[in-house]
């Protein structure tokens, strides 16, 4: 009797499945232009990011450009073994990690400090002027900046003139011809180019910190630097953490454009990083399968670093990407 009664109730009160769909359809129709824009972005990502991933299989083949990928013979892990047996591998890894760690330790905190101090400027005109000057190098390509740096750092360049006028050096130095100066030049020029642009995200995060917290800290007697340390920095902690995770995952990226422009045969021992190594072996020496294998190894390591940094950050301060 109870089973029959339950069946009758279900039949008399069917689940309004179509009613649930109508609000969703109405919402999609009301956002049709946004949905079209989103679909175009998804289509672009599929076409240019996911479909080309089919080419990764050439890392396990002996591919030549005169034949199709399907015609290339399988060689298994031979390309990966060749990379780990390459005599240049220690130097390439050393240069890549060395440059990246210096950039991470110096280049990562500087935009944070710059944003904190820039936020404290009271004059609107001065603040805008500093922002404009700091942003400008970002919009110049490394081809242009590389030419400028090559001129400045030459034997007769302005850097040598200034240092000799200050009696810091006695004779001109060809900085780009000396491997011992290369890492410093790369890190310094990268900071010069990206400092202002990298600070934009932190300035936006600082703008989201509640003014009430600053007012309360001021009433309690906190000075400007104390408010920066105890109010502003904790307020943008999540933004700093997310960007740090992404920076750690990209530790094997050494800014290919920059190094390719600044490197030469004289500083090759300090400028041969993974990106340049892949470029030379893949495009210059036509070892497409080998360079693809190296790039795949680099991507897998980057993924592992991302997962580790994300996990550690989640345990330490409960902030993570996912």
**Position 203 confidence tier, pLDDT thresholds 50, 70, 90:** very high
pLDDT of residue 21: 65
Phi, psi of 240 (to 5 degrees): -60, -40
Classify burial at 27, counting beta carbons within 10 Å of its beta carbon; exposed 0-12, middle 13-18, buried 19 or more. Answer: exposed
The pLDDT tens digits for 253-268 are 888 999 999 999 899 9
Res 305: pLDDT: 93
Residues in Cβ contact with 17 at an 8 Å cutoff, skipping those fewer than 6 apart: none
pLDDT tens-digit map of 32-53: 888 889 999 999 999 998 998 8
Domain ranges of the chain: 17-59, 77-317
Residue 15, pLDDT > 80, answer no
Identify the band that residue 2 occupies on the pLDDT scale cut at 50, 70 and 90: very low
- pLDDT single digits (tens) 220-238: 888 888 999 999 999 999 9
Question: Is residue 98's pLDDT more than 70?
Answer: yes
Q: What is the pLDDT of residues 104-116, one digit of tens each?
A: 999 999 999 999 9
The structure's pTM equals 0.82
19 versus 68: the higher-pLDDT residue is: 68
pLDDT of 308 strictly over 60: yes
Structural domain 77-317, CATH architecture: Orthogonal Bundle (1.10)
Distance of CA 199 to the CA centre of its chain: 14
pLDDT given at position 220: 86
CB–CB of 283/289 below 8 Å? no
- What integer is the mean pLDDT of 109-137? 92
- Which residue, chain included where needed, has tokens 């060689």? 75
Instruction: Please determine, for residue 322, whether its predicted confidence score (pLDDT) is greater than 90.
Output: no
pLDDT at 1 over 50: no
Q: How wide is the angle at C-alpha 46 spanned by C-alphas 80 and 294, nearest 5°?
A: 15
**What pLDDT, on the 0 to 100 scale, is given for residue 20?**
59
Class of residue 42 by CB neighbours under 10 A (exposed 0-12, middle 13-18, buried 19+): exposed
Please report where in the chains the tokens 């109405």 appear, as a residue: 26
- Cα separation, 274 vs 100, in Å, equals 11
pLDDT surpassing 90 at residue 23: no
Q: Mean pLDDT over all residues of the chain?
A: 88
pLDDT tens string 132-158: 999 999 999 999 999 999 999 998 889
- Pairwise CA distance, residues 284 & 277, whole Å: 10
């Amino acid at each position: 009797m109870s089973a029959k009664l339950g069946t009758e109730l279900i039949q008399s009160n069917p689940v309004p499945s179509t009613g649930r769909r109508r609000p969703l359809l109405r919402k999609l129709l009301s956002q049709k232009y946004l949905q079209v824009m989103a679909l175009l972005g998804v289509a672009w990502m599929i076409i240019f990011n996911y479909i080309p991933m089919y080419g990764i299989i050439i890392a396990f083949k002996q591919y030549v450009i005169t034949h199709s990928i399907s015609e290339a013979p399988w060689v298994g892990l031979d390309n990966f073994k060749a990379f780990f047996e390459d005599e240049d591998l220690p130097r390439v890894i050393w240069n890549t990690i060395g440059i990246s760690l210096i950039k991470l330790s110096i280049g990562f905190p500087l935009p944070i400090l710059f944003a904190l101090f820039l936020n404290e400027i009271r004059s609107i005109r001065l603040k805008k002027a500093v922002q404009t000057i700091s942003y400008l190098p970002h919009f110049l390509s490394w081809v242009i900046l590389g030419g400028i740096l090559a001129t400045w750092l030459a034997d007769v360049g302005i850097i040598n003139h200034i240092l000799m006028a200050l009696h810091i050096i006695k004779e001109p130095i060809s900085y780009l011809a000396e491997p011992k100066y290369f890492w410093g030049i790369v890190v310094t020029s990268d900071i010069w180019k990206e400092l202002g642009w990298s600070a934009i995200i932190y300035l936006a995060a600082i703008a989201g910190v509640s003014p009430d917290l600053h007012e309360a800290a001021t009433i309690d007697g906190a000075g400007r630097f104390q408010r920066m340390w105890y109010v502003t920095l904790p307020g943008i902690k999540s933004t700093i953490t997310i960007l740090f995770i992404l920076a750690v995952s990209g530790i094997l990226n050494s800014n290919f454009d920059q190094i390719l422009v600044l490197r030469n045969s004289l500083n090759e021992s300090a400028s041969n990083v993974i990106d340049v190594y892949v470029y030379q072996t893949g495009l210059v020496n036509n070892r497409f399968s080998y360079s693809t294998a190296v790039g795949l190894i680099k991507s897998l390591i980057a993924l592992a670093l991302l997962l580790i940094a994300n996990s550690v950050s989640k345990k330490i301060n409960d902030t993570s990407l996912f």
